[in-house]
Structure 1
Amino acid sequence: MKEVLYIAPGNQNSKGGIGLCVNNYSKYMSDFKVLVTHRFTSRLLNTIWFPLCIIEMLFILIKDRDIKILHIHGASKGSFYRKYILFVIARFFTGKKIIYHIHGGGFRDFYLNASKFIQKRIRYVINSADLVICLSEKWKHFYTSAFKPKQIKILNNMIIPPVNTERMITNDKCKLLFLGLIGDNKGIFDLIKTIAKNRNQFEETLELKIAGNGEVDRLTDAISKWNIQNIVSFEGWADQNKKEELFRSSDIFILPSYKEGLPLSILEAMSYGLPIISSKVGGIPDLIHKSRNGILVVPGNQRAIKNAIIKLMNNRDLCENYSHNSTKAVVDYYPDRVLKSLFSIYHELQGNKGLLFEQN
């Protein structure tokens, strides 16, 4: 992998989806090279860090003559602004091939709601990149209809297969799991309100565990306000060991988001054989319809969320069928298949010349 420089946020302990995705790549590639653009939780520290990041990129490209491709991973808002600056500098000062890999579910709204000045910059990046990577057919349709990319490819997000998927049995209640950023965009407060409004129905039958970071105080206040502590528990941020425990002890995974690309949390839940309840947004419908492993709801529709939970709670055969389909479908997102597609993209971009890729 000495010919590719990854430009992405996060590091080995990243709590963001893009950082996790790139970190997963690094575990299966030798001589992995990455420029970290967003290293801290503090906005001030990241602002101070970014000019140093620009200098570091130029130093790497001047010193390391092996690099032929810059693989830039970005999303909306601040992520785009940082990558735009790096993209322009790299395009102006180097002759490297540039891949712009778009993550996140808010890019369409980000573009449509941006000023004309910002829209022009977005079009410049997407139209002048040597290749654009997106996460699903739905996103490919948007980018090809709204922009004029030179080339565009779909690449599945990659997850690492779990070592142990054996179920952990605790009690007879249905175990529901939410894993993600705590905030309105992920639909977590719609889920909390749904549980609260139907507390009498769920009190003896359901346990909801929530793990993640974000608006934690707002979440714990809501759980207390609605008096649902005996149904809902907040587990904090989940590292890899904690995530394994949560997935293995859960029956259903739920993510009723308003905006998504293709969430790694859903793919991870599928790798543990969990049925899915999620939203008709981003690349999720393509995944769930194709896999036939879950129920889709309209974002914000609390009645639909309630009905989906009850349907799976009361239908063990359906859950087992969805579980089997999850396990079967998720193999397309494991390293052997995703990296084969990624390496093919690199070779094609360079005209199959001079690129030597090696997996660990």
Structure 2
Amino acid sequence: MGNVNQTAGQAAQVLMIGTSLDSPGGMTAVVRLYRDMGLFEAWNIRYLASYEKPGVPTQLRVMAGALLTTLWLLLRGKVGLLHVHSASRGSFWRKSVFCALARLFGVPYVFHLHSGEFPVFYRDECGPRARRWVERTLRGAHTVVALTGLWRESLRRIAPGANVTVLGNPVRVPAALPPAPPPRGQVLFLGRLRDKKGVYDIVRAMPAVLARAPDTVFTLAGDGDLHGTARLAEELGVAHALRLPGWVDGAAKDALMDGADLLLLPSYFEGLPICVLEAMAQGVAVVASNVGGIPEALEQGRCGALLAPGDVEAISSAVLSLLADEGRRLRLRGAAHARAQQVYSTQAVTSSMSALYRAVLAPPQGAHYVR
């Protein structure tokens, strides 16, 4: 089932639109956290999936069902606020239809952007009419949610006059970190295996790392181009040090994070990646590219090592440096955990989202809020 009704039989105060909650990826992980922290219950949220899985028949069925349900709820006056979670390209075009319906019925909406490629999409892939539609969608929102301050300024340039606020992604943060384990030479990547994530750059950096630290193991966990990644590792003679477990979640992902010395994410484009926030929360040192919301999350390098995307030599140098320097790794570990607790904890972010809703809606009677 693509559509999840969290409060069957009750009027929906908030109608939320996004990808199926059974889908992998950071955007759905964020929404699941909002649900698990009680936001859905507190605000009587009904969740509709506008996208479920690849395949034109499935996509058309899910999108049509979500549109018809939305129209039915709007006609009955059951929607006080529409909240859409959007990326770029197809995700934006799908969500913009729901936003247009909300405007037609005079219902306020929150446009929650999760894609670091949105400015590129707007600038390089949209013609004049498409750009005007993007601008109208953003300006028509009661609030546009940007994941970082840098994004906020970018969106304000795209749509001057849009009401853009900053709200980071939430992550579960333990109150205190356990004692740091001894170094094990474990480097972890989490995400889709594709060029834009810097996966092939990681493999190209492996020979230099293994020449000086031959026991290092690189685990690249995710779906995508597993075959091409493995083939490149074979060509470079590093396949023995590469692990490709596929997409992992839940306990399997936690186990990989617990066993890692550092998280490596040399992406070319990012929003505010959940894996970086999870590493910060769990005390795993981060090496990541200086794109999207990563520099802001890592406080320009105070909470992790930053590098330029595409710089294979910088990847190998950063990995070797952190594996060899336990003191620095521990300092980054502590600073990152403290920042995650202060800025990105589920309590902090969920409270901010409730405040945003409260600005539009009177809270349901007897609702219990997550503090």
* SS of residue matched to 1:21: helix
1:129 corresponds to which of 141, 150, 153: 141
Q: Is the 8 A contact 2:156 2:162 kept in 1?
A: no
Name the counterpart of 2:285. 275
Cα distance in 1, alignment partners of residues 309 and 28 from structure 2: 26
Name the counterpart of 2:151. 139
Name the counterpart of 2:55. 42
* SS of residue matched to 2:243: strand
Structure 2 residue identity aligned to 1:267:
L
Q: Is the 8 A contact 2:183 2:261 kept in 1?
A: no
Name the counterpart of 1:80. 92
Structure 1 position 17 matched with structure 2 position 30: no
Q: In the superposition, relative to structure 1, how do residues 238 and 164 fare at CA in structure 2: closer, same or farther (>3 Å)?
A: farther
Structure 1 position 242 matched with structure 2 position 252: yes
- Matched ranges for 1:91-130 at <5 A: 91-92=103-104, 94-113=105-124, 114-130=126-142
Name the counterpart of 1:339. 350
Unaligned 5+ segments in structure 1 are none
Cα distance in 2, alignment partners of residues 355 and 347 from structure 1: 10
1:24 to partner: Cα distance: 1.0
1:51 to partner: Cα distance: 1.7
1:358 to partner: Cα distance: 3.0
Cα distance in 2, alignment partners of residues 272 and 235 from structure 1: 21
* SS of residue matched to 2:203: helix
Q: In the superposition, relative to structure 1, how do residues 35 and 135 fare at CA in structure 2: closer, same or farther (>3 Å)?
A: same
2:167 corresponds to which of 133, 136, 155: 155
1:337 to partner: Cα distance: 0.6
Unaligned 5+ segments in structure 2 are 1-6
Q: Is the 8 A contact 1:347 1:355 kept in 2?
A: no
Q: Is the 8 A contact 1:168 1:249 kept in 2?
A: no
Q: In the superposition, relative to structure 1, how do residues 64 and 147 fare at CA in structure 2: closer, same or farther (>3 Å)?
A: closer
1:117 to partner: Cα distance: 2.0
CA RMSD of aligned residues (A): 2.2
Cα distance in 2, alignment partners of residues 154 and 250 from structure 1: 31
Cα distance in 1, alignment partners of residues 239 and 183 from structure 2: 18
1:167 to partner: Cα distance: 7.4
Q: Is the 8 A contact 2:102 2:108 kept in 1?
A: no
Question: CA deviation digits over 1:63-101, x for unaligned, max 9?
Answer: 462x31101110100101101112112221x22111111
Name the counterpart of 1:52. 65
Q: In the superposition, relative to structure 1, how do residues 221 and 164 fare at CA in structure 2: closer, same or farther (>3 Å)?
A: farther
Q: In the superposition, relative to structure 1, how do residues 244 and 208 fare at CA in structure 2: closer, same or farther (>3 Å)?
A: same
1:47 to partner: Cα distance: 2.9
Cα distance in 2, alignment partners of residues 239 and 297 from structure 1: 27
Q: Is the 8 A contact 1:10 1:18 kept in 2?
A: no
1:188 to partner: Cα distance: 0.8
1:216 to partner: Cα distance: 1.9
Name the counterpart of 2:314. 304
Name the counterpart of 2:35. 26
1:160 to partner: Cα distance: 2.7
Cα distance in 2, alignment partners of residues 290 and 303 from structure 1: 20
Q: Is the 8 A contact 1:123 1:147 kept in 2?
A: yes
- Matched ranges for 1:285-324 at <5 A: 285-289=295-299, 292-324=302-334
1:292 to partner: Cα distance: 1.6
Q: In the superposition, relative to structure 1, how do residues 145 and 355 fare at CA in structure 2: closer, same or farther (>3 Å)?
A: farther
* SS of residue matched to 1:192: helix
Comparing 332-341 with 239-248, greater Cα deviation is found at 332-341
Structure 1 position 262 matched with structure 2 position 269: no
1:307 to partner: Cα distance: 1.2
Q: Percent identity at matched positions?
A: 24
Q: Is the 8 A contact 1:129 1:149 kept in 2?
A: no
Cα distance in 2, alignment partners of residues 166 and 225 from structure 1: 40
